[in-house]
Structure 1
Amino acid sequence: MPVYVYWGEDDFSIEKAIALLRDRILDPNWIGFNYTSISPDQPDAAIIALNQVMTPIFGAGGRLVWLMNTTISQNCPENVLTELQRTLPVIPEDSFLLLTSRNKPDERLKSTKLLKQYAKEFREFPLIPTWKTDLLLQSVNQAAEIVGVKLSPKCAELLAESVGNDTRLLYNELEKLRLYTEGSNQPLEVDVVARLVRNTTQNSFQLADAIIMGDTAKALTTLADLMNASEPGLRIVATLISRFRTWLWVKIMIESGERNQQAIAQAAEIGNPKRIYFLQQEIKSVSLPQLISTLPVLLELEVSLKQGASEISTLQTKVIELCQLYR
């Protein structure tokens, strides 16, 4: 089945999957003739893609037509659906149609059902939630194996904390570590990783710490450092949401009378139960209502940034508002 459908927010992983697909399908000498990428701002982009995938191949290899950021699995016009029904069953075996989107396909739609019927791959590339530390650690170890870097458990934990769910940054940092250790068979030392790896997630943790202490000046200074390091605003917000969500779960479990660290770690989705003691200390002087009132503010901040609000001023305003909750 010559159809591939990729979607999700992990742009880097999607890019890697597309590169593998291109290498597998296309002959490098004939890419200019047999590879077409169609942007969503082109009029009738879906119709053009379906016509292109039916075009005979020139020279060697196969043909690949990439319909970028398409919405036909969320909202498909009737004329496009008709063309899909007519074209998908008869796409030549050596021609391939690739559709990508950030949004999850609506499986109730006829267009989505049709794509699933003819798709060789119907695959999601989600970002790992930043509070799922066990999955982040698993991702680090898998990427390290692919890149060829030997990491000790502590180094892997440090790298997971430093890059969070930013897959592109993870591979960039691992490539840096690979070059540093080239010719050596020894695992990296923790202090080496700490010196070499860009640690903006840890700085975002410091921002969360300043907020929970009600230290507005320190919070704004840390935020300025993050912005000067070109840290995306939505990534800062994601780390804050992860941090406060973890604190909230730990506080809820403690307030309910739970004392078993394993049970608290499981509820808060923390991979290492030994972290619970330190988290308890961090929120000892914070009330449950304060933590509960934080998440709606962070949600408002996330929505504002996604709707195109001024990043710096919006972040500054909300950071001040958050700090006031903990005074």
Structure 2
Amino acid sequence: MIILLTGDDTTLIEQKIQYILKKNNLKKYSKTDQLKEAYFKCLTQSLIDSVTATVLQVSPKDLKLNTSSIAKLQRSQNLLFIVCENFDGRTKLGQALKPYLLSEFTLPSNWSLGEIKQAIDYYAEQFGLNLSYEVKNYLLLALNNNFPLLRSGLETLALLSLSPSLELTKEIIPSVHATAIDLKEMILRRRREEISTYVTKLKAFTNEQAILASLSTQFTILMQTAIGSSQNLNDSAIAKLAEIKNPKRLYFLRKELTQISIEQLIWLNQQIKDTQFQLRYHTCDLSARLMLMCCW
């Protein structure tokens, strides 16, 4: 049986997989990124379990399933979850897999404040929390679109207090945005010896993709500010280009730009994107990649 799950919200995808496993009286699954291995497991009868489950984590470009084999996989009693960030439903393979698309689990775009506010209100109501304006405002800017961390953090807060103070909230849900600023500073000042210890500390309360997403936002703003300044745009135009709400922030960004060129910022942003891709589809040492970025 084929179940296609798409999107980049890995937490919701995992929850859906666990829900389906429970419905089928299964407690575990095997995971692979190899198409042939997943195909073999789905079509092979287990000697131990009557039904097995396999999760195939695959990138869109590597999803090259033979359309003639789809019917065989669907007839199997074993479960085959195909997890892919996205797929093109217009292709022959896309059309063949479309009937098995269970749901799309896509995170809101970076800094979509309206959607983040809705999520805060939704989870607060779910856990019976009475959040003050200052706590909501902090959460709105602290986590970007890291909904898994938001949900788990609010769930922990609810166990401690149903009307948490700002101080308690900051202790339980540290600001990923703030950590990215610290990492950006380390990279700009080439303090590579501090990165490994700092990343280990960050990973205690957030995931690697969230760290990179926030770091990407910081360096994108810096790069766009540099591009706008090089074209002699006025402050309002630069702020609009870099999506900065308060143009006064440009004063501090320009101070940072005195130590790095546009070309170097473009290189750094590409390194961040490459690292995000490697973490999504392969194994990658985040600390090592960040230390490499200090060599701009």
Q: Same fold (TM over 0.5)?
A: yes
- For 1:206 and 1:171, how far apart are their aligned partners in 2? 24
Q: Per the alignment, in what secondary structure is the counterpart of residue 165 of structure 1?
A: coil
Specify which of 148, 169, 172 is matched with residue 193 of structure 1: 169
Structure 2 CA distance, aligned partners of 1:96 and 1:143? 35
User: For residues 205 and 161 of structure 1, do their structure 2 counterparts lie closer, same or farther at Cα, with a shift above 3 Å needed?
Assistant: farther
Q: 1:80 aligns with which of 26, 49, 69?
A: 69
Establish whether residue 11 from structure 1 lines up as the match of residue 5 from structure 2: no
Q: 1:127 to 1:211 in 2, by over 3 A?
A: same
Partner of 1:31: 25
CA distance in structure 1 between the aligned counterparts of 2:226 and 2:253, rounded to whole angstroms: 7
Find 2:293's aligned residue among 288, 300, 318: 318
Task: State the 1:208 CA deviation.
Answer: 1.6
Can you give the 5+ residue segments of structure 2 that lack an aligned partner in the other structure?
none
Contact 2:134 2:166 in 1 (8 A): yes
Cα distance, 1:181 vs structure 2? 1.7
2:170 aligned with 1:202: no
Q: 1:193 and 1:39, CA in 2 relative to 1: closer, same or farther beyond 3 A?
A: closer
CA offset at residue 12 of structure 1?
0.7
Structure 2 distance, partners of 1:158, 1:129, is 19
Q: Please give the secondary structure, in 2, of the residue aligned with 1:112.
A: helix
SS in 2 for 1:123: strand
How far the C-alpha of 1:146 sits from its partner, in A, is: 3.3
Q: Does 1:227 align with 2:200?
A: yes
Per the alignment, do residues 229 and 36 of structure 1 end up closer, same or farther by CA in structure 2, a change over 3 Å counting?
closer
The CA deviation at 1:166 is: 3.2
Partner of 1:61: none
Question: Residue 149 of structure 2 is aligned with which of 158, 161, 169?
Answer: 169
1:113 and 2:60 are equivalent in the alignment: no
From 233, 236, 248, the counterpart of 2:223:
248
**Structure 1 letter corresponding to 2:97:** L
The yes-or-no answer on 1:282 pairing with 2:252 is yes
Q: Distance in 2 between matches of 1:256 and 1:143?
A: 45
1:234 to partner: Cα distance: 4.7
* SS of equivalent to 2:261: helix
Instruction: Give deviations 1:218-276, integer Å, cap 9, x for gaps.
Output: x7436632334436555433322111112333454565534448x945x4456xx3x44
1:179 corresponding residue in structure 2: 159
Structure 1 CA distance for aligned equivalents of residues 93 and 43 of structure 2: 13
What is the match of residue 216 of structure 1?
190
Between the aligned partners of 2:226 and 2:37, the Cα distance in structure 1 is 53
Could you say which residue in structure 2 is the equivalent of 1:297? 268
Say yes or no: does 1:142 pair with 2:142: no
Give how far 1:194 is off. Answer: 1.7
* Count of aligned positions: 281
Q: 1:115 to 1:156 in 2, by over 3 A?
A: same
- Render the CA deviation track for 1:43-97: whole Å, top value 9, x for unaligned: 6644764798xxxxx9xxxxx975412559721135513536xx57xx9xxx996
Using a 3 Å threshold, how does the CA distance of structure 1 residues 42 and 107 change in structure 2: closer, same or farther? closer
Cα distance, 1:150–1:252 mapped onto 2, change above 3 Å: farther
Q: Report if aligned partners of 2:143, 2:150 keep a CA contact under 8 Å in 1.
A: yes
Give the percent of matched residue pairs that are identical in Structure 1 and Structure 2. 16
Q: 1:205 to 1:37 in 2, by over 3 A?
A: same
* Distance across 2 between alignment mates of 1:311 and 1:178: 32
Distance 2:172 2:57 in 1: 39
Q: TM-score, normalised by structure 2?
A: 0.71
Q: Over aligned residues, Cα RMSD in angstroms?
A: 4.1
